């Protein structure tokens, strides 16, 4: 199919006592770490930015993602959000909650789909899902979502406008609607305020493109902006770390596969065997700042292994002209009961305040899971992806990163936990879904003829008028945000659960006591693990933050038969979790373009790939995705079309909620 006005289609796209560690060996093999020096690459600061009208414009999506007959290209469309595991398992019985509830304080709306689409004068694309980056400190709340960034004070008042990340990192606009040229594709923001250095750290993944078509060149890099002062409103220094790992630009060669299909684009890739550093996430200890990625083929079909990058934190904090980076490849490092595996979504721990682990020359901990196809190597067609194993990682002797010959040591141990497996998609409470209803409509007048669908499609490509409310993607079983507090690691992931005989999407949480030997080898035991679930509903995309007293909050989205997508949370400690509470009740249906096959060629209704939780003092700041608006088809068709009174844009309506919680 071809869309009206060349609207090109991408796929843009997150309690009972447990047994002790099982002895499966400690992963210490793999390639030797690589050491690089990366130069500073310019400076940035918040600048005033124009806001677009929100009207329907063409194209709404990057042209690089259009495949045959308008369907998304399977080898290109998912590059910034790779996920191999599909299907779902049978839920495990959910456990009871055991501790008291937290107290909700300040709560306000953060960035939303309209903010993102209309930033930079409207020179942006429509993007789902809302990937959440939140950091808080010194009276500032910084939120980065997808391709935009904003600073608030702690009462929720905006201190800046909505700034697009292309501009912030010194790139051309995502799409210049005057010239038709495209800038680099930026995605997956994460943010951290480090109390020890009094600096702000913002990370994105950037994929370089050919400006005339938006096709990927192959080169991609982790871009890291570090504030020059303790305020996010001042200047920042930018560093760019190449992560294509094809032997160019100082990267190792990991032999990623090229596109198995003949090239039919305008530009052949300049780096056809490039890898991609997908899904970057960040952490810090006393000595280093960490970024981990999931490395896939950029143009081919395979997963490689998680990569761990350690940056000298003192050099970053000093805004040095060059910074030391040590890279670890986790290929073959996990000795599971299922065999030798690569690391997958190895999420680094953060700490409340400055409570870093200082043993073994300085230690950074990580957690990961291994049910997904990326870890097991078992194709979806050969079984359900489930596991009873949790991997704890330790990177020791991190104080050596500032020496002339850094000698950091990475190891891991496999722990026994309760079963987790891929959850099914989450159903939604009924309501108006005007974008889907627009595709169904055949009578409303438009400039192109009767039928709202004609706003998007040419007459010969009339879509089926049978669209229904979509189910929300409940993530796979990859690890989500990790915190280290009072000697315990806290983490959580999405899983299938059984509640009153019904399978739902739920959360499994873990409290782990890690350890390192004198030689720097990591071990550990599980202090607590259990489940969070709500009858007739789903809880998805957890993010945990824990304060220095060992009390925390876990944020997530609550959605199902009784709730539109809502921002929710629970208290958590080493004793378990409390009751589910709502920070902001959703008021409408998730109604984005990934809900509907006519736009994307298949159905994968995207939601946020990850949330955020940040301890500040005794409180926890949380950010989750939810739906903050609702409107009818008639309101959707009222000019400016698709805006519903300035509450959404034509192709999406996600929003975020930022809240302060005291556990």
Helices (H), 378-462: 434-440
Cα angle 301-305-308, degrees, rounded to a multiple of 5: 140
Bridge partners, residue 446, by sequence: none
Reference 344, options 321, 368, 324; nearest CA is 368
Lookup result for tokens 């409940």 = 474
Looking at per-residue confidence, does 369 or 519 come out higher?
369
pLDDT range class, residue 82, cuts 50, 70, 90: low
Domain chopping of the chain, boundaries? 4-662
Q: What's the length of the chain?
A: 663
pLDDT per position as a tens digit, 138-196: 999 999 999 999 999 999 999 999 999 999 999 999 999 999 999 999 999 999 999 99
Collapsing DSSP to helix, strand or coil, 199 comes out as: strand
Q: What is the mean pLDDT of residues 578-583?
A: 96
Q: Is the link from the previous residue into 350 a cis peptide, with omega within 30 of 0?
A: no
Q: For residue range 294-331, list pLDDT tens digits in order.
A: 999 999 999 999 999 999 999 999 999 999 999 999 99
Dist. CA 288–CA 280, nearest whole Å: 16
pLDDT digits (tens, 9 = 90+) for 5-32: 222 223 233 232 222 222 233 344 456 7
**Average pLDDT over every residue of 485-512:** 96
């Amino acid at each position: 199919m071809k869309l009206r006005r060349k609207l090109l289609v991408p796929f843009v796209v997150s309690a009972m006592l447990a047994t002790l560690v099982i002895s499966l060996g400690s992963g210490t093999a793999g390639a030797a770490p690589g050491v690089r020096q990366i130069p500073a690459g310019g400076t940035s600061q918040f600048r005033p930015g124009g806001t677009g009208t929100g009207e329907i414009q063409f194209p709404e999506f990057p042209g690089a993602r259009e495949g045959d007959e308008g369907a998304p290209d399977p080898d290109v469309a998912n590059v910034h959000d790779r996920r191999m595991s599909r299907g779902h398992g049978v839920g495990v019985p959910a456990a009871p909650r055991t501790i008291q509830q937290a107290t909700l304080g300040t709560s306000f709306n953060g960035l939303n789909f309209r903010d993102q689409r209309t930033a930079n004068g409207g020179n942006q694309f429509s993007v789902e899902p809302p990937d959440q980056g939140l950091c808080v400190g010194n009276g500032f709340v910084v939120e980065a979502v997808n391709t935009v960034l904003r600073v608030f004070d702690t009462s929720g008042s905006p201190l800046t406008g909505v700034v697009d990340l292309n501009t912030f990192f010194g790139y051309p606009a995502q799409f210049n609607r005057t010239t038709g040229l495209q800038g680099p594709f930026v995605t997956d923001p994460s943010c951290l305020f480090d109390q020890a250095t009094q600096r702000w750290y913002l990370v994105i993944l950037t994929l370089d493109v050919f400006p005339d078509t938006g096709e990927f060149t192959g080169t991609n890099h982790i871009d890291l902006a570090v504030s020059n002062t303790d305020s996010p409103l001042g200047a920042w220094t930018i560093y760019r770390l190449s992560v294509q790992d094809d032997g160019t630009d100082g990267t190792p060669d990991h032999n990623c596969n090229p596109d198995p299909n003949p090239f039919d684009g305008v530009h052949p890739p300049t780096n056809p065997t490039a890898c991609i550093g997908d899904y970057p996430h960040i952490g810090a200890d006393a000595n280093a700042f960490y970024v981990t990625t999931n490395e896939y083929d950029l143009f081919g079909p395979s997963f490689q292994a998680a990569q761990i990058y350690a940056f000298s934190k003192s050099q970053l904090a000093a805004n040095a002209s060059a910074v030391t980076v040590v890279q670890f490849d986790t290929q073959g490092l996990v000795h599971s009961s299922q065999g030798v595996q690569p690391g997958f979504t190895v999420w680094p721990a953060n700490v409340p305040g400055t409570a870093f682990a200082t043993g073994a020359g300085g230690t950074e901990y990580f957690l990961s899971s291994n049910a997904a196809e990326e870890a097991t190597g078992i194709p979806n067609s050969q079984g359900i992806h489930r596991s009873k194993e949790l991997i704890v990682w330790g990177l020791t002797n991190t104080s050596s990163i500032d020496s002339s010959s850094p000698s950091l040591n990475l190891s891991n141990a496999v722990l026994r936990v309760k079963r987790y497996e891929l959850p099914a998609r989450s159903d939604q409470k009924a309501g108006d879904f005007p974008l889907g209803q627009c595709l169904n409509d055949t009578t409303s007048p438009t400039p192109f003829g009767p039928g709202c669908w004609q706003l998007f499609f040419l007459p010969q490509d009339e879509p089926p008028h049978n669209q229904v409310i979509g189910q929300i993607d409940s993530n796979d079983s990859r690890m989500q945000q990790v915190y280290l507090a009072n000697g315990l690691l806290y983490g959580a992931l999405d899983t299938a659960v059984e509640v009153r005989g019904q399978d739902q999407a739920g959360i499994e949480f873990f409290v782990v006591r890690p350890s390192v030997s004198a030689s720097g080898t990591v071990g550990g035991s599980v202090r607590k693990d259990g489940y969070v679930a709500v009858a007739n509903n789903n809880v998805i995309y957890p993010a945990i933050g824990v304060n220095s007293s060992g009390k925390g909050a876990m944020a997530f989205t609550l959605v199902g038969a009784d709730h539109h997508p809502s921002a929710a949370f629970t208290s958590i400690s080493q004793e378990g979790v409390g009751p589910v509470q709502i920070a902001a009740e959703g008021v409408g249906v998730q109604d984005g373009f990934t809900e509907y096959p006519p736009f994307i060629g298949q159905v994968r209704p995207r939601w946020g790939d990850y949330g955020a939780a940040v301890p500040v003092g005794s409180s926890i700041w949380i950010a989750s995705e939810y739906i903050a608006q609702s409107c009818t088809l008639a309101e959707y068709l009222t000019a400016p079309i698709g805006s519903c009174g300035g509450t959404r844009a034509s192709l999406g309506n996600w929003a975020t909620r930022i809240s302060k919680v005291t556990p």
